[in-house]
Structure 1
Amino acid sequence: MMRGMGNMQNMMKQMKKMQAQMTAEQAALNETTFTGTAPDDMVKVTVSGEKKVQDITINPAAVDPDDVDMLQDLVLAAVNDALAQVDAKTQSTMGKYTKGLQ
C-alpha cells in the first residue's frame, strides 16, 4: 500500500462523519419553530426552520377596517422577524460547516 492511502481513508471517514452531523443538525433545525412578532405583539407568526409559515395570530385590536395598511405592515413585520430568526439560527448552527468555503 502506498504511503498516504491511510491518510486519505482517514480524511474520507472524517468527511462522512461531518456530513452525517450536518444532516442531523439540518433536520433538527427544520423541526424547530420560530415565532416572530410585530410591535406590541399585535401579530405573531410561527414558521418552521424550513421557512414554512405554520400559524398566524392576529390580535383583534389590530383589525381596523379603516386602516388595513397598518394590519398588513404588522403581518409583514412579524413574518420578517420570524424569518430573520430562522436565518440567524441557521447561520449559527450550520455556519461552522461552511467557514472558509467560498
Structure 2
Amino acid sequence: MKGLGGGMAALMKQANQMQMKMKKAQEELAKAEYEASTGGGAVTVKVNGDHMITSLKISADVMKDGDVEMLQDMIMSATNEAVKKARDTSAKEMEKITGGMNIPGMF
C-alpha cells in the first residue's frame, strides 16, 4: 500500500504541473494576435486569443466601389479566418502540453 500512495502523489504532482503549464500557455495565447485578410488585403482583421477583434482595416479602394454586400462578406471572411487561426494555435499549444490527451475541463 505504501508504494501505491507514492505513485498517487507523483501522479497528482504531474497533474498540477500540467495544469500550471496550461494556465501559463492560456495566458500567453490570450495576449497573442492573429491576423487574416481578404480581397488581396482590402480587409484585414486582427483578433486576440480570446477571439475579440483588436483591429479592423478597410482599404479606401473598397469604399469607392460602394458594394456593401461585398464588404460585409470580406469582413466576415477575414474575421472567421483570424478566429480559426487563434483556435488552431490554441489547440496545438494545449496538445503539446497534454501530449494529445483530451482532458475534460482543462481547456
TM-score (norm 1): 0.90
What is the CA-CA distance between 1:95 and the residue it aligns to?
A: 2.5
Identity of aligned residues (%): 28
The residue that corresponds to 2:24 in the other structure is 24
Q: Please provide the CA RMSD for this pair.
A: 1.6
Q: Give 1:101's aligned amino acid.
A: N
Q: Which amino acid aligns with 1:87?
A: R
Give yes or no for contact 2:51–2:86 (8 Å, CA) kept in 1: yes
Q: How do 1:68-79 residues align onto structure 2 when only pairs under 5 Å count? A: 68-79=68-79
Instruction: Extract unaligned runs of 5+ from structure 1.
Output: none
Provide the rounded CA distance (Å) in 2 between the counterparts of 1:86 and 1:92.
Answer: 10
CA distance in 2, matches of 1:101, 1:20: 16
| CA deviation profile, 1:37-56 (whole Å, cap 9, x unmatched) | 11300000110001001110
Number of residues of Structure 1 aligned to a counterpart in Structure 2: 101
Secondary structure, in 3 states, of the residue corresponding to 2:57?
strand
Determine if the alignment matches structure 1 residue 99 to structure 2 residue 89.
Answer: no
- For the 8 Å contact 2:46–2:82, the answer to whether it is kept is yes
Give 1:86's aligned residue.
86
Say if 2:95 and 2:101, in contact at 8 Å, map to a contact too.
no
User: What residue in structure 2 maps to residue 3 of structure 1?
Assistant: 3
Cα distance in 2 between the residues matched to 1:30 and 1:57: 21
Show the counterpart of 1:34.
34
Question: TM-score, structure 2 length as denominator?
Answer: 0.86
